[in-house]
Amino acid sequence: MWITYRYGWWEFDFDRYQASLSGQMKISPDEKSPTAEGNTIKSGYGIQETVTSRVSTNQSSAVTEAQNAVTYFPEFEYQRYWRVLERLGGGYSSRFEFRKNPYSTYERRTHFTPIWYPDGSYTPYTWLLDCWTPTGMLSMNLTDSVRIRGNLWEDWHIAPQNPR
């Protein structure tokens, strides 16, 4: 039995390209948090997040923008619950934020910290991903934090008014 192999003629072009992904994450107290001071909030109130990404490449026909950002939270040990952020703007410079929270009184783009969260640093992290190149995916991890001091129960007072 004879096996015949057919050989063809191929021409290859060696194209060099570069692609890089950079990003920044910023969390801050929700503007509706009545007792927030700077970057310090009481547990039980909400935070807002903005992630910005930038893709640089010399081969724009072969590289996509960052398409997703997923945020993980410390109260879930960074694994049991996450939120996919909404992309607000496309192209190689993208912005991501929380989707509108249906549990927010004003339908704000917020994540509520748990009331029981202890005083100290509250640090969610975000995985910025799905920036595709011919050799694979570019992604990066981002973090930022706010300071927790006290809880929202300290702001609530239910009692009769003191008559004068």
- Tokens 């939120």 correspond to 83
Per-domain residue ranges of the chain = 19-150
Residues 6 or more apart whose Cβ sits within 8 Å of residue 114: 43, 44, 75
pLDDT of residue 157: 72
pLDDT of residue 13: 76
pLDDT of residue 16: 84
Phi-psi region for residue 32, left (φ > 0), alpha (ψ -120 to 50) or beta?
A: alpha
The pTM of the full predicted model, rounded to 2 decimals, is 0.85
Q: Please, are residues 53 and 128 in contact by the beta-carbon 8 Å criterion?
A: yes
| N-terminal to C-terminal alpha carbon distance within the chain | 111
Query: ∠ CA(145), CA(150), CA(155), 5° rounding?
Result: 120
Three-class SS state of 96:
strand
| Average pLDDT by stretches of 10, the chain with 164 residues | 61 84 97 93 97 95 95 96 94 96 93 97 98 95 98 82 67
Q: Does domain 19-150 bear CATH number 2.160.10.10?
A: no
